Structure 1
């Protein structure tokens, strides 16, 4: 018989759910991550509008709403690309930079067009992620950052979003040219969730 859920991740992305389960595996005594850590769809949690002005605000908005709706410990994240020469944009608008939410190809092409006359020394950018956990009387937020430089054209067939044009510092490949294992070791999301782990353990203990 499956155990009752104890933690809900405010996403409907199965890849993010797998990542969280692996992060928590063996970390909390008595927690069956395969049955007790679920996503928003399984919990019947609502979609939460991202009306915050920062990644941290949006992450907390989602975690608070899902925790209130389900009564479970809730985890959420918000992430995007921050380009130095654009003053940190696209930032929280990364997923809808070209207008339609989630149109990766259009977002990427618009950004490349906007930076077409920017020389390599001025193409610094970073992927940023804020991850949060919320439970009754407890909140915590942690951030991860993957710095690099923006290429002038996409490279690689892996990843998603802006991965094909961000080359991490100290590497000669784009994020889309890295293996999933390589990317997870250095990614902004991986950093944020690893930093959040002690808070998750506390909330679930």
Structure 2
């Protein structure tokens, strides 16, 4: 790949998600041998939004289908490797909703506050003890034709990979914290950082430091699983 094309596109218009993915990728590169790390550091993560690409309609019925749809659309338009994730909040008492509709639960895609307000209104009469929930992510990597030949012996078009991750926890009625995005202020992960355990408190995802969240999050787990494929393909 020429230096001018040394880019990996994250199929999102959410710059918060781009920053989170960049942090996870940097952590993966940091653990590589020197020469391999140097080759990977040539590549820059850019978002679909930064490239002016349209946001495709998410017609999939699962997280996996939507993630592949988004990454595939970017690779088709740019000829570059693309990473996409489709994530959502699954609330047990709501029969797995909001699920794939999490980002547009209120009817407007990406309106985090409206989505959270509507969900809290729907759950207001329930005890927090009954609000078991989990975040789920499907991460997709699409490599353009001719890249990563060692991954697939015989192929003519783009190659697709998918990995998943989840983070279990429960919801709270009052938002707390200003980190993260989406439903983070009302979600308390089961896996709490050491500082929270020492203090005897439970932190929401929005009260976690980025490194703490990436270490346990659904997105972090899915992306860490798919990064070795990307690293092998590009290095």
TM-score range, shorter chain: 0.7 to 0.9
| TM-score, with length taken from structure 2 | 0.78
**2:62 matched to 1:58?**
no
**1:25 aligned to 15, 29, 48, which one?**
29
| TM-score, with length taken from structure 1 | 0.88
What is the Cα-based RMSD across aligned positions, in Å? 2.3
In the TM superposition, what are the counterparts of 1:157-172 in structure 2 within 5 Å? Answer: 157-171=178-192, 172=202
Partners of 2:128 and 2:49 lie apart in 1 by 42
In the TM superposition, what are the counterparts of 1:1-205 in structure 2 within 5 Å? Answer: 2-18=3-19, 19-20=21-22, 21-23=25-27, 25=29, 27=32, 28=36, 31-33=39-41, 35-135=43-143, 136=145, 137-171=158-192, 172-205=202-235
Partners of 1:139 and 1:39 lie apart in 2 by 19
**Counterpart secondary structure, 2:82:** strand
Aligned partners of 2:8 and 2:44 also within 8 Å: yes
Partners of 2:191 and 2:231 lie apart in 1 by 33
Structure 2 gap segments, 5+ residues each: 146-157, 193-201
Structure exhibiting the larger radius of gyration computed from Cα positions: 2
Deviation of 1:186 (Å): 1.0
Deviation of 1:30 (Å): 5.5
Q: Give aligned pairs, total.
A: 205
